[in-house]
Amino acid sequence: MKNQPLGGNEMPRFAGPGTMMRLPAAASAAGLDACFIGVPLDIGTSNRSGTRFGPKQIRAESVLLRPYNMWTRAAPFDSLQVADIGDVPINTFDLKDSVRRIEAFYDDVLQHDVRPLTLGGDHTLTLPILRSMAKKHGPLALVHVDAHADINPHMFGEDIAHGTPFRRAFEEGLLAPEHVFQIGLRGTGYTAEDFDWARERGFTVVQAEELWHRSASPLMAKIRESLGDRPVYLSFDIDSLDPAYAPGTGTPEIGGLTTIQALEIIRGCHGLSLVGADLVEVSPPYDPQGNTALLAANLLFEMLCVLPGVTYRV
């Protein structure tokens, strides 16, 4: 019998453990097929802060999650051993030291044959995760869902910030650029050519407007066909969704994806060789109803449901 989320008939949902989905906590990733990890980082943000509280609030809203997916029939806890291995002890006084600490933490996690699902935290955290992932898998394919390209050369003169991770990842050779898909980009730019830097390097950019009034499923079918069985990392910024659905974030942009399109995108990753995923930029101080964290908790469950090796009850 694999680890199971603690059920609502064993302990009221408003009580009991504070882990993701009320799963058992584990001290390391040893013996796990997938694990949840919190990265309580917000010192890489450029506007509203508060994502340091993201992991704790996502876990709090995850108490309502039950173990089966009622549409896809995924039963992740039938076949995968899953636990919450806690938070990365970042240095909240030093962003660069935090980035080093995150990389070292994931180096340790990835010694095991485990797929980490990360609760953010601002988007800076994806760079050290990709550094660690690339050591194990080589240059990665990437599905990056975001309102922003996060390819700034610098922010206020700094190399490392939440708007630069994919620029640095490209420069460091962590990505296979022809296998990078950026979905949901929109809003205002510093120049009209901001997204072209990515296109010129081989990334596929799908702006939010290209998905207005339509399903994201055909796009995901194309991405699956294009990526085949390459190792893929999924990085999902909650601000890819419209602020109507996800107001609790630091750099909101209007005209974004719907919750339904977010589900289509993540469910559309079923069949990819996902090596890990993150859900970033949930800022609880701007999320007074908890809806953004609730959405994030559900999207993380959906990510778990599409990992390789998950079985389905059909």
Residue 64 CB coordination number (10 Å): 14
User: CB of 22: closest distance to Mn ion in angstroms?
Assistant: 29
Contact 33, 93 (CB under 8 A): no
Q: Given the complex with Mn ion, which of 65 and 140 has the nearer CB atom?
A: 140
Residue 278 sits in the site that holds Mn ion (CB under 5 A): no
Q: Given the complex with Mn ion, which of 10 and 171 has the nearer CB atom?
A: 171
User: CB of 278: closest distance to Mn ion in angstroms?
Assistant: 10
- Print burial letters for 71-104: b (CB count within 10 Å at least 16), e (below 16): ebebbbbeebebbbbbbbebeeeebeebbebbbe
Following CA atoms 289, 291, 296, 297 in sequence, which dihedral angle do they give, to the nearest 10 degrees?
Answer: 80
Site string for Mn ion, 127-166 (x = CB under 5 A): -------------------xxx-x----------------
Among 52, 59, 115, 123, binds Mn ion (CB under 5 A): 123
User: CB of 54: closest distance to Mn ion in angstroms?
Assistant: 13
User: CB of 150: closest distance to Mn ion in angstroms?
Assistant: 4
User: CB of 238: closest distance to Mn ion in angstroms?
Assistant: 8
User: CB of 237: closest distance to Mn ion in angstroms?
Assistant: 4
Residue 210 CB coordination number (10 Å): 14
Following CA atoms 299, 311, 37, 55 in sequence, which dihedral angle do they give, to the nearest 10 degrees?
Answer: 30
* Ranges of H-type helices in the chain: 54-61, 76-79, 95-109, 126-137, 165-171, 196-200, 217-227, 259-267, 291-305
User: CB of 86: closest distance to Mn ion in angstroms?
Assistant: 24
Residue 90 in tokens: 């970042």
Using CA atoms, how far apart are residues 105 and 88, in angstroms rounded to an integer? 7
Among 103, 237, 278, 302, binds Mn ion (CB under 5 A): 237
Using CA atoms, how far apart are residues 7 and 10, in angstroms rounded to an integer? 5
User: CB of 227: closest distance to Mn ion in angstroms?
Assistant: 21
Residue 167 sits in the site that holds Mn ion (CB under 5 A): no
Say how many residues touch Mn ion, by CB under 5 A: 7
- Residue 204 bridge partners (DSSP): 181
Residue 218 CB coordination number (10 Å): 12
Q: Given the complex with Mn ion, which of 10 and 172 has the nearer CB atom?
A: 172
Residue 239 sits in the site that holds Mn ion (CB under 5 A): yes
Sign of CA dihedral 228, 207, 40, 165: positive
Q: Given the complex with Mn ion, which of 150 and 287 has the nearer CB atom?
A: 150
Measuring CA to CA, which residue among 110, 231, 111 is closest to residue 175?
A: 231
* Ranges of H-type helices in 110-230: 126-137, 165-171, 196-200, 217-227
What is the maximum alpha-carbon separation in the chain? 56
In the complex, the residues that contact Mn ion under the rule CB under 5 A are 123, 146-148, 150, 237, 239
